[in-house]
Amino acid sequence: MALKDAGNQVDEAFTRKGLRGKSYENAFAGATSFLRRRYTKDLAGVDIAVTGVPFDQAVTNRSGTRLGPRAIREASTLQTSDTPYGWGYDAMEVLDIIDYGDMAFDYAMVPEFPGLLSEHIRTILAADVASVVLGGDHYISYPILRAYAEKYGPMALLQFDAHTDTWADDDMDRIDHGTMFYKAIKQGLVDPARSVQVGIRTTVPDPMGVTIIDAREVHEAGPAETAKKIRGILGDAPTYLSFDIDALDPGFAPGTGTPVWGGLSSGQAAIMLRDLAGINIKGGDIVEVSPPFDSTGATAVAGAHVATALICLLGWDKRDR
C-alpha cells in the first residue's frame, strides 16, 4: 500500500477490513474516525479503544471543548499514512485499535453524567482494553479515574497542565474542572506520592503531596531531564496520563478555555512523552481542546499528536509481538 492507494480508499472508518495498518485515504475526505480506525462497539481482541467524551459543562471560562473530539479526529487524518515519528515502531501496524465512538449522554441531565462516564469506561476496562479519551473539559478525568482505580487500585497521576486542578472543594457532587483532582486524591483514587504535575504556571495553596514540575523548571532543565525526573516519581505504579492542552503555551495551542502564558512548547511535550516509554501506563486522555478559539486548527493537531503518543506509550510492551 502507498499514497497512490488514496484512489481506492474512502470511509475507512467503516470499510477497513482489519484493525491494524496504515490508511492512505485522502486526509480531506471521508468519515473522520481517529487515525481512520474502524468505528465499532466490539471490544473483542482489541488493545486500545479511542473514545470521545464531548462534555464541557464544568468549565470556568470559555466553553467549546464539546467540539474537541470531532476536531481531534479530523486532525488525526494527517497522521494515518506515516509511522509515528521517533517511536521505533508503528503502533498502527502492531496494535488492534478501534474508535469506540463518543459516549452518549443527555446534555440536560448534568448530574447523571459522572456515573454514566464511569460506567462507559468500566465497559472498556472489563474487556481488558485500555482507553484513550478525547475530551471534553478536564472534569472528565475524575469519573474516568474512578473506573481505573476500581480495576488497578490508587493510580499514579501524570498530569500535563497549566493548572493543578486541586482547588479545595469538599462537595463531591459539584462538577467543576478545577477541583476534580482534589476530590480524586481525597477519595483515594490517586496516590499523590507517585503523582506529578508538569507545566504548571498558576499558584496553588496546597499541592496535596503531588510533585509539581512547573513550566519554568521544564524550560531550565530541558524536556529530557524532566522526563527522567518524572520516571523516578512514577516508578512502576499503574499510571493514568492526563494531558490538558493548556499545558502548551497559547502560542502553540490557542484553542483552549483557560490559556496561560509561559507554557510548554509542542517540541518539549513531544520529547517528554517519547522519553516516558516504558512507564506502567494503563490509560489516558487529551482534554480542553476548544476548536472555536483556534481558526488555524493547530490546537486540534497538537491534541491528535498527544493522543497518538498515548497510544504509542500504551503499546510499548507489545511493540515486538
Residues that constitute the known binding site for Mn(2+)? 138, 161, 163, 165, 244, 246
Give dist(CA 232, CA 212) in Å, integer.
13
Rg (CA), the chain: 18
**What one-letter code names the amino acid at 146?**
R
Q: Rounded to whole angstroms, what are the CA distances from 253 to 13, 139, 261, 264?
A: 27, 19, 11, 10
Q: Which residues are annotated as a binding site?
A: 138, 161, 163, 165, 244, 246
Quote the CA–CA distance of 3 and 315 in Å, as a whole number: 25
Q: What DSSP assignment string belongs to 150-173?
A: HHHSSBEEEEE-SS--------TT
d(CA 57, CA 299): 20
3 state DSSP class of 214: strand
Contact in structure between 227 and 275 (CB atoms under 8 Å): yes
Residue whose cell numbers read 519554568: 216
- Residue 263 identity: G
Let me know how long the chain is: 321
Q: ω before 209 within 30° of 0 (cis)?
A: no
| DSSP secondary structure letters along 266-284 | HHHHHHHHHHTTTS-EEEE
- AA identity, residue 168: A
